[in-house]
Every structure is written in C-alpha cells, then in structure tokens.
Amino acid sequence: MSSPSPKPQQAQKSKAPQSSDTLYESRKKLYVRAVTGVFANWRWALVWITQILFYGLPWLSWNDRQAVLFHLAERKFYIFGTVFWPQDVFFLAILLIISAYALFFFTAIAGRLWCGYACPQTVYTEIFMWIEQKIEGDHIRRQKLDQAPMSANKLFRRSAKFLVWGLVALWTGFTFVAYFSPTSELLEAARTFSFGPWELFWILFYGAFTFLFAGVLREQVCKYMCPYARFQAVMFDPDTLVITYDEARGEPRGVRKKGVDPRSLGKGDCIDCGICVQVCPTGIDIRDGLQYECIGCAACIDACDQVMDKMNYPRGLIRYTTENALKKNWGNKEIVAHVFRPRTLIYGTVLAVVCLAFVWGLASRDPLRVDVIRDRASLAREVEGGQIENVYRLHVMNMAESTRTFTFEVSGLPGVKIAGGPPRIEVGPASTQSVTLQVLVPYDAGKPGSNEIEFLITAEDDPSLSLREETTFLLPR
C-alpha cells in the first residue's frame, strides 16, 4: 500500500488557554481536501437547484411583468400569479411559522440538514472552493502556494482567483437587488451606470459580504457568527440521525497494510489516515464525538467510505446513525421506526396544519378589497332639494391579474342614492383605484346622527365577484 499523501495544515482542536494572556488563538487557515461520493453529489445537486432558482427567477416574466418581484416602492410582492399587499402580512407570519417548524422537524429527524446542504453559507463556500481548486490546485498545491514567496505564478493565480470571486460576488449582489427592483431597469442602469444610491449600495454590500463570507471567513461564520450552531443541539434527542464515528468498531485506530485483519493486530477498522479531518470544511475531527462545529455536510462519510473500500472493510465506520442505534446495535429498520416518535409527530402535525392553513388562506383570499373613508372636511351638508350629502372616498384594490370594471350601489336608508347615478371605474391588474362618491339622502330619511348604510361593489364581467362594505351616514340634528 502506498504511503498516505501529505496532510495539509488543519485547525487543531481548541484547548483551554494556558494563561490569562492567551484568551484567543488566531485562526489557522484550512486547506480543505476535495471529496466525491454520494453525499457530495447530493450537496452539489442542492447547489445547482438553489442557484438555478436564485439566479433564474428574476429573469422570468409573468403577465408582462417580472414573475418574482418584491416591489417595495409599490408596496406589493409579486410571486407569479399571486400579488401580496401590505394587508397580507398575515401570510408572512404564517411563512415564518412554517419555516420555524420545518427547521424543528427536519433537525429532530436528521440534524443539521439545512446547514450541510442548503444554507447559503454552505452553498457559496462550495462554489468559491471549487473556483479556488480549479485555479490554484488541490489542497496540497494551495498550501504550498501560500507558503511560497511571491512570484509571477503566485500573483497570476491569486489575481485570477480574486477576479473570478469578485465577478461571482457582484453578480450575486446584482441578482439579490433584482428581486426588489425590476431587472429591466437594473440592466438599463448597468448599461449607463446610473444606479440609484440604494441599488448601488445593496449590490456592493451584498456582493462584498458574499466575497467575505464564502471566500475569506468560511468556517468562522458557522463556528462563531451563526446563532443556529449554538442552539441546534437542543433539538436533538437520542433518536436523531447525526453523523457519527463508530468508536466501538474503529478503536484502537492505527496504520496497517492493506489486506491485514485488524483484529489480528489488536486494532479497529480506523487506519488513522486523517482524511476525514482533511475534507471537513470546519476542520474538526468527527472521531472526537458530536461537536457544535459539525455542519452535517457528510464529507467525512464519503471520505471514510472510500478508504474502507480500498482496505476491503465494510462501509459505515462514519455514518448517519443515532445514539440509541449505537448503544443498542439497531439496524436500519429499527432506526427508521424511531423516526416517528412523539417529538417528530408533534412537529410534523403542527407543520402540516400550518401549511394547510396557508394554502387555504391563499385559495380563499378575496380578489377584491375596498376601503371606505369618509371625507372629514365635510361630514354632512344640505344641498338643493332639501337633501343631505355625505362624501366618501373608496379605495378599490383589484387583486386579480386582469383588468376589471366595477360598479357601485348604495343602500340602507330610504331614498339613498349616489349623485350622478351609479359610477363605473376600471382598475388595472394588481392595482388600486380611488373614487369619490357623493351620497344623497332625504332630510327625514333617518334619525339625526349616525345611520348605517352599505356600499355594494360588483365586477361587471363577473357579478358573483362582489363586496359589501358598511359605513355610516350622518344626518344633522
């Protein structure tokens, strides 16, 4: 068997300070080794899916507008055929609840799935590390390049890497802003370099943080800045699937030749090659047990399985398993059976109920809304013919994706009518239109003071789409 490849410098397990002068140990740069395997393929599949969605959605059109646009200036969120208004903040609250319970549910089942496969920090770190590997080489070449004196080759590779990183970061910032400002306007602004101050700020700000987090800080974001790493363990229990080193099978670890029975040497299956540490994006040794720095990416599983294959040992020395499964020597059948336990059933039930409530709320949402506002500058006045006039301003919100014409009627008092006859207004798709109505009532039609009346707003093309809004009519005392 060939000798193991040189090990790149890795961050060592943190130790307690030896004196009051060493409260902080400076970061040791990680040279993460590339790995292939089942979980690496899943991770890259999620990278492709998330980035196709992120970079692609702002370019899609829907009914002559951007398909997904959070238009802050208009105070409207467009998501394909649905338009959300400020009055729909209820749905935002439900989405936050869904996100929270989805996190609780999947974390209780299999640990930090979000962190390991879909978190933007993980996704962009994977992308930036891939770029770095293509330009500077593998983990050994990168370490040698860092340690080498400045040369034309080093300057060229560093410059090329930073240039590509910068372009990716700027395009990411541009795409982020495109969710809040129409893409067509941003493209024109880019062509003439006439961005608004806030657009330019957010493009540079988001791009700079993408560059900093994915290219420079990397594992430090997960270890020190992300709050989820600090509290995620409270959602674990002995039946949560986590990445685990099988200590009973692997210890005592030690090097040996291929084909030698480790039991004859008094050793376990772990050959102490250290590759599981080399591929870890946070630089931890999974053999030391569950640690908060572990993001659950399963790179160590892929690496260890490849080593086990070369040694002709069974796979799974490092694997997804549970604390109870290790203690009680459970197989996959028992592990799966314990996925459905009280904690996950409660999380799953709440998640399902809230999701159904969200879908029901969207499906039953009224496509027409009307706000009635009394003209407070002229509460009630007498006009010709001995009639009393009240003035109202109606804000009509057409929440549908097509232009509609609405008619107005009023009822509630004898002889009540709208001056000039029933009006008609045309409201564009996902638009608001205001109309001022002068309502007339005979002087003796009701009691002095406040009287109830009702406006009926009806869509001409669909009489079933109507809305009744109650208000009050003031008669002088």
Pair (157, 65) in one structural domain: yes
131 to 80, 174, 204: CA distances (angstroms): 34, 20, 21
- Report strand pairing: 65-66 vs 61-62: antiparallel
Residue 2 scores a pLDDT above 90: no
Residue 468: predicted pLDDT: 92
Domain finish residue from 339, 365, 391: 365
Nearest-angstrom CA–CA distance, 222 and 14: 15
**Mean pLDDT score of the chain:** 90
Domain boundary, last residue among 301, 331, 365: 365
Report the pLDDT value the prediction gives residue 20, as an integer from 0 to 100.
Answer: 45
- Average pLDDT on 66-82 reads 91
| pLDDT beyond 50 at 430 | yes
pLDDT by residue (tens digit) across 111-133? 999 999 999 999 999 999 999 99
Which residue range is the domain that position 459 belongs to? 368-475
- 166 and 270 belong to one structural domain: yes
Q: Determine the pLDDT at residue 12.
A: 41
pLDDT value of position 462: 85
Domain total for the chain?
2
- 330-381, pLDDT tens digit by residue? 998 999 999 889 999 999 999 999 999 999 999 888 888 999 988 877 778 8
State the pLDDT at residue 33. Answer: 97
Query: CA 186, 215, 46 angle in degrees (round to 5)?
Result: 75
What's the average model confidence in pLDDT over 453-475?
90
Give yes or no for a contact between 456 and 468, defined as CB atoms under 8 angstroms apart. Answer: yes
Q: Which of 333, 365, 397 is the last residue of a domain?
A: 365
Handedness of CA 41, 47, 49, 52 (dihedral sign): negative
Predicted confidence at residue 24, as pLDDT, reads: 59
179 with 152, same domain: the answer is yes
pLDDT digit string, tens, across residues 124-164 = 999 999 999 999 999 999 999 999 999 999 999 999 999 99
Which CATH number do you get for residue 439? 2.60.40.10
Are residues 333 and 459 both part of a single domain?
no
**Domain shared by 280 and 384, yes or no:** no
Of 182 and 383, the structure prediction assigns the larger pLDDT to 182
Tell me the CA distances in angstroms from 167 to 162, 164, 205, one per residue in order: 9, 5, 14
Three-class SS string for the chain? CCCCCCCCCCCCCCCCCCCCCCCCCCCCCCCCCCCCCHHHHHHHHHHHHHHHHHHHHHHCEECCEECEEEECCCCEEEECCEEECHHHHHHHHHHHHHHHHHHHHHHHHHCCHHHHHHCHHHHHHHHHHHHHHHHHCCHHHHHHHHHCCCCHHHHHHHHHHHHHHHHHHHHHHHHHHHCCCCHHHHHHHHHHCCCCHHHHHHHHHHHHHHHHHHHHHCHHHHHHHCCHHHHHHHHCCCCCCEEEECHHHHCCCCCCCCCCCHHHHCCCCCCCCCHHHHCCCCCCCHHHCCCCCCCCCCHHHHHHHHHHHHHCCCCCCEEEECHHHHHHCCCHHHHHHCCCCHHHHHHHHHHHHHHHHHHHHHHCCCCEEEEEEECCCCCCEEECCCEEEEEEEEEEEECCCCCEEEEEEEECCCCCEECCCCCEEEECCCEEEEEEEEEEEECCCCCCEEEEEEEEEEECCEEEEEEEEEEEEEECC
Same domain, 316 and 372: no
435 lies in the same domain as 286:
no
- Residues 465/364/82/103 CA torsion (nearest 10 deg): 170
Residue 238 Cα to chain centre, angstroms: 28
pLDDT at residue 8, as a whole number: 45
More confident site: 154 or 431: 154
Q: Check whether residue 348 and residue 430 sit in a common domain.
A: no
CA angle 471, 445, 466 (to 5 degrees): 35
pLDDT at 148: 95
User: How much of the chain, in percent, has pLDDT values that exceed 70?
Assistant: 95
| Mean pLDDT, residues 277-296 | 95
Give yes or no: residues 356 and 386 share one domain: no
Percent of the chain residues past pLDDT 90, beyond the cut:
68
Q: Residues 121, 15: one domain? A: yes
Whole-model pTM: value is: 0.85
Residue 237 half-sphere exposure, CB side, CA atoms within 13 Å? 14
Dist CA 122 CA 281 (whole Å): 9
What does the pLDDT read at residue 384?
Answer: 80
Same-domain pairing of 307 and 422: no
Phi, psi of 95 (to 5 degrees): -60, -40
**127 shares its domain with 199:** yes
